Amino acid sequence: MGRLFLKLYSFVALAAIVFFIGVVNLENILHGTFEYHLGNLTQGTYYLLERRLQNLPEAQWPEALAEINQGGGYPLDILPIESLSLPPATMDQLKQGAVVVSDVYEAKYVYKRMAGSQWVLQFPYEQSQYHHAQRLANSTFNLIERSLRDQPPGNWPATIEELNRHFRFPVTLIEKNSDEVLDGESQAMESSEDIVYEFADEELFYRRINGSPYVIKLGPFVQPVTLDYLQAMLMLVFALLVALAVLFWVYPLWRDLKRLGISARAFGQGDFSVRAIPRKHSALYRLAGTFNAMADRIQGLISSHKELTNAVSHELRTPIARLRFGMEMLETSTQAEDRSRYMASMKDDIDELDQLVAELLTYARFDRDKPVLAFQRLEIFPWLDEVVRQEKTGVDDLIIDFEISGKDLKYARFDPVLMARALGNLLQNAKRYARSEIKISFSKDNGCYQLRVDDDGSGIPEDKRERIFDAFRRLDASRDRDTGGYGLGLSIVQRITYWHGGDVSVCDSPTGGASLILRWPEELKGSE
């Protein structure tokens, strides 16, 4: 799950980095777009100004600029290039003919070098878009009108067409009564020589040429990229990146949850063989693995329950049948000796049933719940001696010996009660098959304790060794029943060894029979 949120945090962090980079570079972006916009706006104006000044001696330039500056336009000025104090990069751009903007004492000035000279044209820039546009339009109108006044009116359309090649916005010569001029704008131009400023969907400027029926129209102008626009775009990009991050985070999770839900639904409907198939890098990989482990456990329990039910019914059938037969014979028998024999047989059957029920309860408890293990550090010899002494009771025809391998092996860690139960079950199993001798050995090897029980019986075939630990599994069912076995002892041994973190195995014994070996680690979790 941590990997899942790490992926989300990575996406969001990436989006934040992109947004931060955009914010940091916002000023540079605005400055670049601003200079580009000014260059487009002033290109035609600078062309007219350069052309007018170049046709005059330098001594007449101040007078010509003063004339052009009349009428509310920008206070245009001309300076030697060496008088400017600009950054080296800005100066290089200026020398190459670009329009540059520079801050001088908290005021902005726009500069353009006159082609082929060391003179620079200068005009101030006002922050107010309206006033800037007004003053630039006035200066442009003044220059255009003076260019037209230098020639007859018949040449004006051609002159305007030629000027359009040097402007980045349309310059149009129209008649005052044309449909392009609205009534209100026409009346304004009748009463004043000021320009008419139209700013709705488009930015347009109109000015009537004094003493003529013509009107000069400037625009529409391409609007520059504003700070608000860039901020909105950055926020939109950030929102899209976050949305994509959430999408890439949620979709795989939703897809895997859907697959897991389908598997869980099928399992709940009785298909116990269904399993989740998680992707290796899925955020639900561990959850799917847990589900599969749970499914395996439940399927195993159901299978074990079925086997247990079948086995129990089979095990109970024989003694119950014998009891029923004994009761029938008891009812018909008139001889005291026969009735006594039938009663003894029925008592044995009841004892067998009682023992079977006790074994079943023990197995069910061990198979269902893991008890609280009381690990202790015990002296091995006294513990072994006590267990063997109890198992020797009533057995006179078998030799049961035990030994502890290793001079330094005196103590071991295990649950004494459960391990005694496991060893007792091993001995009960060995006593059913041994001919004359059973050997027990306790040793330690590679950090693991080893408890081994050998008998000199007929042994266990290799193809049947894995099955002897299954509940109610007998290699010789009739012989086990005669000796009181139910096929549960070794299953309980396997469960106890598993709780100790070890395992149990079977192999050939040096004495000729079978050897069952319990192993568990020296360092036990939860031991004292």
Q: What pLDDT is attached to residue 439? A: 92
Q: What pLDDT is attached to residue 474? A: 60
| Average pLDDT of the segment spanning 45-56 | 83
Global confidence as pTM: 0.44
CA within 13 Å, CB half, 495? 21
- To which residue do tokens 């399927």 refer? 299
- How would you label 172-181 residue by residue, b for 16+ Cβ within 10 Å and e otherwise? ebbebeeeeb
Q: What pLDDT is attached to residue 522? A: 86
DSSP output for 444-460: EETTEEEEEEEE-SS--
- To which residue do tokens 């109970």 refer? 316
DSSP output for 73-140: ----EEEEGGG----HHHHHHHHTT--EEEEETTEEEEEEEPTTSSEEEEEEE-S-HHHHHHHHHHHH
**Mean pLDDT in the chain?**
78
What pLDDT digit, counting tens, does each position of 223-273 carry? 665 555 666 776 777 777 777 777 776 777 778 788 888 888 888 888 888
Q: What pLDDT is attached to residue 528? A: 46
Give span(s): CATH 3.30.565.10, the chain. Answer: 373-521
Within 10 A of 469 (CB to CB), how many other CB atoms are there? 20
Q: What pLDDT is attached to residue 521? A: 92
Q: What pLDDT is attached to residue 442? A: 93
- To which residue do tokens 């598997």 refer? 263
Q: What are the Cα distances from residue 416, in Å, to 375, 377, 384, 423, 424? A: 7, 9, 10, 10, 12
Structure tokens given for 101: 């903007």
DSSP output for 19-62: HHHHHHTHHHHHHHHHHHHHHHHHHHHHHHHHHHHHTS-GGGHH
Worst-scoring range by mean pLDDT, 169-178, 199-208, 338-347?
Answer: 199-208
Q: Which fold has domain 373-521?
A: Heat Shock Protein 90 (3.30.565)
Cα radius of gyration rounded to whole Å, the chain: 52
**Do the Cβ atoms of 184 and 192 come closer than 8 Å?**
no
Q: What pLDDT is attached to residue 131? A: 62
CA distance 165 to 160: 9
Element (H, E) at 520: strand 514-521
Q: What pLDDT is attached to residue 97? A: 80
pLDDT beyond 60 at 436: yes
| Average pLDDT of the segment spanning 368-392 | 84
CA distance 329 to 242: 88
Exposed / middle / buried, residue 490 (Cβ in 10 Å: 0-12, 13-18, 19+):
buried
Q: What pLDDT is attached to residue 478? A: 44
pLDDT beyond 80 at 128: no
**Do the Cβ atoms of 384 and 404 come closer than 8 Å?**
yes
Q: What pLDDT is attached to residue 484? A: 47
pLDDT beyond 80 at 325: yes
pLDDT beyond 50 at 426: yes
Which residues is 108 bridged to in the sheet? 103, 125
CA within 13 Å, CB half, 263? 20
**Of 103 and 215, more confident:** 215
Q: Give the model's confidence band at 382: pLDDT under 50 very low, under 70 low, under 90 confident, else very high.
A: very high
pLDDT beyond 90 at 203: no
pLDDT beyond 60 at 516: yes
| Average pLDDT of the segment spanning 276-298 | 79
Most confident of 112-116, 420-424, 487-491: 420-424
CA distance 45 to 329: 133
What pLDDT digit, counting tens, does each position of 330-358 carry? 888 878 888 888 888 888 888 878 877 77
| Average pLDDT of the segment spanning 432-449 | 89
Worst-scoring range by mean pLDDT, 177-191, 283-297, 351-365, 440-454?
Answer: 177-191
Q: Above pLDDT 90, what percent of the chain?
A: 7
